[in-house]
Amino acid sequence: MTPTEMTLMDEPDRLRVALTPIRRRLLARLREPASAVQLAIELELPRQRVGYHLRVLEEAGLIELVEERPRRGFVERVMRVTANAFLVDPGVLTSPNGADGADEAGKADGTSGGEGDDDGAAEGFCRVADQYAAEHLVEVAADTVRDVTRMAAAADRKGVRLLTFTLEARVRFAEPGDVHDFTDALADALSQVAARFDTPGGRPYRLVAGGHPAPGPRETGGHDTSDTPERDGSSVPEAPETGS
C-alpha cells in the first residue's frame, strides 16, 4: 500500500506530535522506507532515541510499518510515512484549543507528554459576509484546503483520481475602484458559464474565485519585478484565482 499524496492534520494532538524538529526530519526522510538503525546512522543519533520517536509517530498514524527484516537477535522494522504531504487545517491553529508546538518541542529527548485537548479542532474563523474582506478570502481558502485534502486522500485510498481544476491570471488595475467593477463583470460572466454547463442530477462542483494584491518584495523576500508602481500605498491587486 502506497502513501496517500496528502492528508489533513485537523487534530491538535496529532499535529503536536509532528512539530518537534527531530520528528519533522523523520517524516521528511521517511518518504522513502527506512529502519531505526538506518535513521540513527544517517541522523547521527542514538538508535533508542530514534526508536522512541518512531513509536510516537506510528501511534499517531503518521508513519506505518512496510516490512520486517529478521536480524541477529531482533527484528528490524522498516517504516514509511502514511502520506507524502501533511497539510495543517487552518482551523486547528486559530482554535482556542489549537495545537501548541511549545509543549511538545521540549520533549525531543523522549520525555512523556501532557494531556491532550478535549474538544479537538474547533471552528477557528468568524464568518465574514463581506466579499471584499481579507478574512472572507482566508475563510474560503481554508475551506478549500480542508475539503480538497480530505477528498483527495479518500480518492487515493480508492485508487482513483479526484478531478479538480485551477485557473490563475494576473491583471493590473489603474484605480482601486476598478476592483469592484472587475468583480461585478467576473461574477456576471461566471454566472453565464455556470448556467450553460449546469446539469440537473450531475456531479456538483464548488467554484471559488478570489483575488488579492500581488505580494511585494517585503512579503516574499524576493525582488520586485512589477513594472507598475503602487497606488494609494497598496499593492496592485492580482486577478481572482479560480479553482474547484
What are the residue boundaries of the structural domains of the chain, listed by start? 1-164, 165-243
How high does pLDDT run on average in the chain?
Answer: 79
Q: Which residue has the higher pLDDT, 211 or 73?
A: 211
pLDDT band at 190 (very low <50, low <70, confident <90, very high): very high
Q: How far apart are CA 172 and CA 213, in angstroms?
A: 10
Residue 140: C-alpha distances to residues 89, 115, 211, 214, 229 (Å)? 13, 32, 12, 18, 29
52 pLDDT more than 80: yes
47 pLDDT more than 80: yes
Nearest-5° angle of CA 160, CA 155, CA 149?
140
pLDDT band at 38 (very low <50, low <70, confident <90, very high): very high
Q: Which residue has the higher pLDDT, 68 or 109?
A: 68
240 pLDDT more than 80: no
Q: Which residues contact 14 (CB under 8 A, 6 or more apart)?
A: 60, 61, 62
181 pLDDT more than 70: yes
The radius of gyration of the chain from alpha carbons, rounded to an integer in Å, stands at: 23
Among 1.10.10.10, 3.20.20.70, 1.20.1740.10, 1.20.1260.10, name the CATH number for the domain at 1-164: 1.10.10.10
Q: How far apart are CA 57 and CA 34, in angstroms?
A: 14
Q: How, if at all, do strands 63-71 and 83-88 pair?
A: unpaired
Which of 214, 206, 208 shows the shortest CA–CA distance to 238? 214
pLDDT of 220: 52
